[in-house]
Structure 1
């Protein structure tokens, strides 16, 4: 099948609505994150969703297709100074159409509306495709050493 036929059937991702996740979206989000390769055995995505929804300093934004299915997401939160984005995902059938960039911009807008001056995110060093996506979106790679400590016993 040629690219023209595929593009003709693909939804126009620039027109897909983006809003806050709903209570019934948890399993759809987990499924999207699995298809996008974001789930790691040491992170419980349902617990991450619950934590993000617990307070006023974070949210999960989702893009929906015409059938109201979740086809994109970004988790965004802040500590008052630094904003962070996590789980930026686009349904694999809809990649390279600008939806990931729209989700990132929506997360940026959410943080700016709260007066957060800096946005940060983590990308694994070997993930060249995602690094290129963020570089093309105006993000700067800053060398840092990250210290972590598990508090959940894992």
Structure 2
């Protein structure tokens, strides 16, 4: 993946991000992605969303969230045609580097239980499920 470039996402990338997440995602149980919320994220934390481009096309993303205390990784998505070439691992490494610079001592990753391919990548990156925790969610609106 020598021709891939990685940079921070901007507001101009929102449609491309949504398109990749739709194509590469597999979680029908989460709420629909909304452009206004992605715009708000990019505006709130311009370095949170990393994207990888190949030939002008977004082929991978990751969100590294930092609230000053906890670090979380979300939305690791790799174009199905680009999987198995180390791109996902590279995105994780870059997001982790940023989070460490911000002060993170531990990083959590959101991984779907039935995403075997994704779970394999996260394990290869040194992550493991935490048996004594479950994620609880509530709609804010």
Counterpart residue number, 1:9: none
What stretches of structure 1 of length at least 5 have no aligned partner?
1-12
Counterpart residue number, 1:122: 110
Counterpart residue number, 2:33: 44
Which string of whole-angstrom CA distances, capped at 9 and with x for unpartnered residues, describes residues 33-85 of structure 1? Answer: 111025645142424422321324861101111x2221111111112121111
Residues of 2 paired with 1:69 and 1:57: CA distance? Answer: 20
Aligned length: 139
Residues of 2 paired with 1:14 and 1:91: CA distance? Answer: 16
Instruction: Provide the aligned C-alpha RMSD in A.
Output: 1.9
Counterpart residue number, 2:129: 141
What's the CA shift for 1:88?
0.8
Counterpart residue number, 1:17: 5
Residues of 2 paired with 1:75 and 1:43: CA distance? Answer: 17
What's the CA shift for 1:148?
2.0
Select the structure of larger CA radius of gyration: 1
Counterpart residue number, 2:62: 74
Please tell me whether the aligned partners of residues 57 and 77 of structure 1 are also in contact (alpha carbons under 8 angstroms): no
TM-score w.r.t. the length of structure 2 is 0.87
- Identify if the C-alpha distance between structure 1 residues 89 and 42 changes in structure 2 by more than 3 Å, giving closer, same or farther: same
Please tell me whether the aligned partners of residues 20 and 60 of structure 2 are also in contact (alpha carbons under 8 angstroms): yes
What stretches of structure 2 of length at least 5 have no aligned partner?
none
Which string of whole-angstrom CA distances, capped at 9 and with x for unpartnered residues, describes residues 90-148 of structure 1? Answer: 11111000000000000001101111111112222222221111011111211212222
